[in-house]
Structure 1
């Protein structure tokens, strides 16, 4: 039985203080029960919302018959707490002036606080709103609460447009790059290193792979008004069994971040062509997401934010919405470069500014 959390959430309170209360509810992936209960309880007090809970994912929506429906989504879990002495990005939260420190301050309890504040404040929004507070984002994709909802409650993810409140430092980041990983294998022949001429060194044979990757010039691809910068890199290499044995195999792990104009299959074809002559095995892939900024709801959102949109180079869950035919962008408080760091923090004014922008758009 889930224990009632000691920190009661008041969505009508100052959104920066609400962020601190959310941080105080430790929610490392797999331990989201308490925060999910607190979010659910806060939402069920709001009579204008329909609320459903699936596992540790909490969903709420207005049903006003508006011409458009938008989704505001954010994950309630965090990465593990830092262990280094003196770390400030931990639990409970701590204030230093107007700067809030704590695990999840940027990724992404500031965004979750904005969702809760909007849910409480907007009983009559100009667009119908679906709020998704989901679990297990910081772990393997198969556990994602958002993926589970897509399978179990697909009607809850039907919308004209979606905003994922990941940290973007107050700038709209459209879509996201896709990502794919590959194992590139080189076979050799083992021998005693004192008689190396009797074998074939697989590590030496991998040199050509590294040369091709080093000399590769990643593309910048224009997609729907934004320029997505690609990258293709060796990220891990393994091979060899002992200090006196010529290695008979080597594996280089390659990561390709590809623009959202490509499918994972097209990305694989590209890597295979570059590394022709070697054994290439795709081990993981996730499609990117086009920004969808041409949609009227997206254009109105960009105008409300008042900043030039940028591309999202990393992969985020906007790709899940894109796969469902829902254009989506990333927009939330905090600097993404501070996510997961030992001194994770967010400016109080950044959380408030995010709330103002979304309130303007939806009012």
Structure 2
């Protein structure tokens, strides 16, 4: 759980949210509450306070995670989730309204990743007191940082009953279309060893950085696959993401590490992905730095197919694959089919010029409202 933070001092006025202003205005309001990962208390307080005003919702607070549920005894339940944190601010707050490519956009940190989706959730949570199925609205912390801090993971470990359901929607940016599942991710450290020596007598040593050349050559020659999983094509990738070695400008390095990130199709297990990487780097020491399974598209469930039909009718888009890792994988581990569906183009997530077309925010709101009514 996040600890108290400097921006949540008693002297700072608490944020207030009006859930009746509509999803676009609410997106702007949410973005203007700074909530960099680890600093979500103020926004979580505002979300909790706003949701507790609605008697049809049962609200639970766990750390800086807020879960609001309807309990109408419906035959099915959907979990609709989104995170409250952002990456650090880059002089891109407060939010501005701009026109880009002829469309009105909200410009600023969080507009894409992912307070537009959170705003849609909040407006609908307030409006829909008699949805056609029970709904669990989940708002969580620390998605943008280390996995063990992730609020959705904390809920799953400590109070998993709050995430029970038949289908899940994660409001991550997907340009207002469904993106099914996600690739898995594996990061390994490939190590070479050498013998240290003075660089003036290089022949007395063995250069560990030079010894890494075959690693880079294998990566440069690697041809990633595109794997079809349940009708969606997932592009894989294998890349060096960092290389480190050497202790001084006059010392032959005796140690070098190349970090490699493999994004693998959700049809592969983490063990299969690791075996593939070890085979590629045969002859080198390979250590796992981080690994997370992917998630299959989740579109074979009746609820997912029904939702996809509404999205197609409203936005004209067919489901596509999600290449990056998202928390749909956590839902998959819980046995819950899940899809990504939210406003904003993920290409602009984390960028200084992050911006989201307002019509996408409105489309997501209308699609979910139509489906839930």
The TM-score normalised by the length of structure 1 is 0.94
Quote the offset at 1:103 in angstroms. 1.6
1:344 correspondence with 2:354: yes
Aligned residue for 2:47? 39
How far apart are the structure 2 equivalents of 1:194 and 1:2? 57
Given that 2:14 and 2:46 are in contact with CA atoms closer than 8 Å, whether structure 1 keeps it comes out as: no
Structure 2 partner of 1:327: 337
Match of 1:261 among 248, 267, 292: 267
- Does structure 1 residue 227 correspond to structure 2 residue 238? no
Cα offsets for 1:232-251 (capped at 9, x unmatched): 11111112233333222211
Aligned to 2:24: 16
Distance 1:259 1:169 in 2: 21
Shift of 1:330: 0.7
Q: Deviation of residue 8 (structure 1)?
A: 2.5
Question: What do residues 112-150 of structure 1 show as CA deviations (whole Å, max 9, x unaligned)?
Answer: 100011111211111111000101111111111111111
Alignment partners' CA distance in 2, 1:137 and 1:160? 23
Moved over 4 A (4+): 1-7
Q: What is the TM-score with the length of structure 2 in the denominator?
A: 0.92
Report the Cα offset of residue 6 of structure 1.
Answer: 5.3
1:292 aligns with 298
What is the number of equivalent residue pairs in this alignment?
A: 357
- Of 267-276 and 242-251, more deviation after overlay is shown by 242-251
Q: Displacement, 1:153? A: 1.2
2:71/2:134 contact within 8 Å kept: yes
Question: Secondary structure of 1:232's match?
Answer: strand
Whole-angstrom distance in 2 between the partners of 1:136 and 1:37: 15
SS in 2 for 1:202: coil
Is the 2:14–2:42 contact (alpha carbons within 8 Å) kept by the matching residues of 1? no
Residue 55 (1) aligns with residue 63 (2): yes
- Cα root mean square deviation, aligned: 1.6
- Give ranges in structure 1 of 5+ residues lacking alignment: none
Corresponding residue for residue 242 of structure 1: 248
- 1:159 pairs with one of 146, 151, 165: 165
Q: Report the more deviating stretch, 1-10 or 187-196.
A: 1-10
Match of 1:353 among 363, 370, 373: 363
Q: Look up the SS of the partner of 1:107 in the other structure.
A: coil
Please name the residue that 2:4 is paired with. Answer: none
2:200 alignment partner, one of 173, 179, 194: 194
User: For 1:112, which of 108, 111, 118 is the aligned residue?
Assistant: 118
Q: Deviations over 1:286-320 (max 9, x none)?
A: 11111110101100111111111111111111111
- State the shift of 1:7 in Å: 4.5
Structure 1: distance between partners of 2:206 and 2:15: 64
Query: Is the CA contact 1:5–1:34 (under 8 Å) kept in the aligned structure 2?
Result: no
